[in-house]
Amino acid sequence: MDIRIRALSKDFGDFPALHDLDLDIRSGELLALLGPSGSGKTTLLRVLAGLERPTEGRVFFGEEDASATPVRERRVGFVFQHYALFRHMTVADNIAFGLTCKPRSERPSGAEITRRVADLLDLVQLPTLAKRYPSQLSGGQRQRVALARALAVEPRVLFLDEPFGALDAQVRKDLRRWLRDIHERTGLTTVFVTHDQDEALELADRVVVLNLGRIEQVGTPDEIYDAPATPFVFDFIGDASRIPVTLDHGRLVLAGEPLALGLDVFGFGPATLFVRPQHWRLDVAGGLAATVAATRRHGTARRIDARLADGATVAVDLPPDAPVAIGDRLSLTPAKWRLFFDDGRSATGDRPAALPARAAV
């Protein structure tokens, strides 16, 4: 089931939560709505599910205009962050709840409900827990039951709102792989909300980055990470240093010194250079003079804070055993970078033949 969103806006009183959104969600894809708190991602999900009515615009499920269709008639499955399981019901009864509430003419037989519940317990890998109650389950198990309940009504699309937000880090990682496997097996069009960029990049076929109720970028995880379309996306996805520079006759200038980036963009005015920590090269002639201000272990790398001549600090990732110390002087050149001008233009650079990373002590 494909979903099309056209000129969609949602206001809560005087507060505009969504602004004139257009988005196509492909049939069978796993789409992430990613953004910080207040970006509008949960509001958009609730509008798609029919839990909120749009102020303006339309939502299409396939060729059907579902903008005014009540939630009961949309045939969607919804999984909440905090499970929303009925504490007085067993796991089996929770999963069967949506089926038992159907009108008599649409309700499956008791035997069919029992069979479907058993199949779903197998699908979510909880076949022996049918008679337990939610209080007897772990957080990860509860979320699996919540998903099984959403799937029981055979929805056309599946919506998940921060499905792993209440779980600890290791359980989140395990359930990411599990959810991706479930998606591959069911083939349902699935939309999930998250503020966790790692979660979105690992799970989704495509990612929608939202900010202040507007779409900043839509793309594959590789496109979002490697080619951010706006300064906000570059800041929000992954780590990056922002360096204020000036464009002068096609040259970039920092603290009065030119940067040798080989630009083919001309003009004058301020701009911002973005570079990720892993994309700096050391000991390059004509690079930026910098001094090590701090050093710390960062996952599989050693991350240093390097202070440039204008006082700006950039993060640089080195091998964990790199012989650097506070006060060491470096020469830095970006191997990959993106430049955003205040007038809306942008430029990129990619120098893959990086020199070995070593400190200039």
In this predicted structure, what is the pLDDT of residue 201? 94
Which CATH fold topology does 239-350 show?
OB fold (Dihydrolipoamide Acetyltransferase, E2P) (2.40.50)
Q: Are strands 214-219 and 64-65 parallel, antiparallel or unpaired?
A: unpaired
| pLDDT above 50 for 246 | yes
In this predicted structure, what is the pLDDT of residue 187? 92
Report how far residue 337's alpha carbon sits from residue 314's, in angstroms, rounded to the nearest whole number. 13
Highest averaged pLDDT of the listed ranges 24-38, 161-175, 244-258, 275-289: 24-38
Q: Could you tell me the residue ranges of all domains in the chain?
A: 3-231, 239-350
- Do residues 287 and 322 touch, judged by C-beta distance below 8 A? no
Read off the pLDDT of residues 330-359 as tens digits, 9 standing for 90 and up: 888 888 888 888 776 777 776 543 333 433
Structural element, H or E, at residue 34: strand 30-34
Same fold, 3-231 and 239-350: no
Read off the pLDDT of residues 187-238 as tens digits, 9 standing for 90 and up: 999 999 998 899 999 999 999 999 999 999 999 999 999 999 999 999 999 9
pTM listed for this prediction: 0.87
User: Listing from the earlier edge strand, what are the strands of the sheet with 329-334?
Assistant: 280-282, 329-334, 288-298, 301-308, 313-318
DSSP character at residue 109: P
In this predicted structure, what is the pLDDT of residue 361? 29
> What six digits make up the tokens of 307?
């202070």
| pLDDT above 80 for 286 | no
Read off the pLDDT of residues 317-326 as tens digits, 9 standing for 90 and up: 999 988 899 9
In this predicted structure, what is the pLDDT of residue 296? 93
Binned at pLDDT 50, 70 and 90, residue 279 comes out as very high
In CATH, which superfamily holds the domain spanning 3-231?
A: P-loop containing nucleotide triphosphate hydrolases (3.40.50.300)
